[in-house]
Amino acid sequence: MGLAELGSRALFPQLVAGAYLNHAAVSPPSLVVRQAVIAALGEYEREGVGAVHWAIEQRVRLKGALATLLGAAADDLALGFGTTRGLIDLALCMPLRPRERILLFAGEFPANVTPWQQVAERFGLEIVMHDARAFLDAPEQAWQRFIRELETGLRLVATSLVQFSTGLVMPVQRMAEAAHAHGAEICVDAIQALGVLPCDVRQLGVDYLVAGAHKWLMGVEGVGVVYVAPRVVASLRPVVAGWLSHVDPLGFLLQGPGQLRYDRPIRRSADFLEASAPNTLGAAALEASVGLLAELSVPAIFSHVQGYLDRLEPSLVQRGFRSLRAADPGARSALLCVLPPPGVDVVRLHAALNTLGVACSIPDGVLRFSPHWPNAHDEIPFVMSCLDRAL
């Protein structure tokens, strides 16, 4: 038997909440992650600068594991510092021209809006805003409006794979196909998907994908991954390049005199975004957590979580909550978002639930439950008992 087991909290002995249903916010680190961070710190305790060689090898392993998770090649990935930083760097590096149009979605998490707003102001772009919720409430009308916008002319579509306040899986593969047919690119924020929802970047056909480690990947904050499709990487301008973005950036430290140069070319691969000293401890944590995900397999995790939500959702509906979970099983994620019954103050309800031992969130006033592989189905009666008391 492996270290991880679906429905078991054995690797989380310090976790206080009776039911931790907040992985869409921050996942608690497992014992395996904790041990990996301590081991990485120990390398530096023993070796000092000599541990850098160990850290480089560790990042190579991590990229390989992430590439497997994403259905990508390791050379198509860069390790970054989280979703927002990755999107900022991509936005600044794209060869954007004045008056080009970028499609964003109202209802998105601000991490996938603010960088594009800033780059639009800097380069004189036009922002077009559609409503992400429309793909849940009236998907065919939303799709037709999306196509009309592409026909008008777009440079880029920026969307989340999973919407953080409804749990809707956006039709990203279909969007990518339509965008490419109209000469546009697509950039995807996958932080609410990667690690729990099967995600193959080649099948999806996306140009760019970014995700942080501290949610469904179950790592820690301050580290993430950026995917750049081979067909577009050469078009990026390395305006965020740093000393580690060069070809052979460490040569002048290892090969004797005469190697200190500033004219070495910038790498023409996604990892030119790895411009500065990395988050080594965060990378160690992420390697450990991705190892557990691989051990369990993401499809098995997703099936486990869907089974949990299939039991939780009707109990909430019976109590007057309105579920925002997609009717189409293919558009469902690991998030269950519900609106409280009339007259119920969601802020007070949330506070009561957390006090009673049910960790959840209220993004934009929606009560959100987000279980992961450690959540056991038999904890649901406890959740509903706490909810009844809170109500």
Looking at the structure of the chain, the number of domains it has is: 2
State how far the Cα of 311 lies from the Cα of 304, in Å rounded to an integer.
11
Judgement on whether residues 274 and 369 belong to the same structural domain of the protein:
no
- Return the ∠ at Cα 212 (arms to 149 and 189), rounded to 5°: 10
Q: Under 8 Å CB-to-CB from 268, ≥6 apart: which residues?
A: 233, 234
pLDDT at 1: 42
Please identify, among 243, 275, 293, the residue that sits at the C-terminal boundary of a domain.
293
Judgement on whether residues 342 and 199 belong to the same structural domain of the protein:
no
Residue 161 in this model has a pLDDT that exceeds 80: yes
Mean pLDDT for 52-71 is 97
Q: Please indicate, yes or no, if residue 9 is contained in any of the structural domains.
A: no
Q: Please indicate, yes or no, if residue 5 is contained in any of the structural domains.
A: no
pLDDT at 3: 86
Q: Please indicate, yes or no, if residue 287 is contained in any of the structural domains.
A: yes
User: What region, left, alpha or beta, does residue 218 occupy, with left being phi > 0 and alpha being psi -120 to 50 degrees?
Assistant: left
Q: Please indicate, yes or no, if residue 250 is contained in any of the structural domains.
A: yes
Judgement on whether residues 44 and 146 belong to the same structural domain of the protein:
yes
pLDDT tens readout for residues 258-301: 999 999 999 999 999 999 999 999 999 999 999 999 999 999 99
Mean pLDDT for 78-90 is 97
Judgement on whether residues 256 and 386 belong to the same structural domain of the protein:
no
Q: Please indicate, yes or no, if residue 268 is contained in any of the structural domains.
A: yes
pLDDT tens readout for residues 358-386: 999 999 999 999 999 999 999 999 999 99
pLDDT tens readout for residues 89-135: 999 999 999 999 999 999 999 999 999 999 999 999 999 999 999 99
Question: 187 forms bridges with which residues in the sheet?
Answer: 158, 208
pLDDT tens readout for residues 305-321: 999 999 999 999 999 99
CB 120 within 8 A of CB 126: yes
Q: Please indicate, yes or no, if residue 234 is contained in any of the structural domains.
A: yes
Judgement on whether residues 245 and 303 belong to the same structural domain of the protein:
no
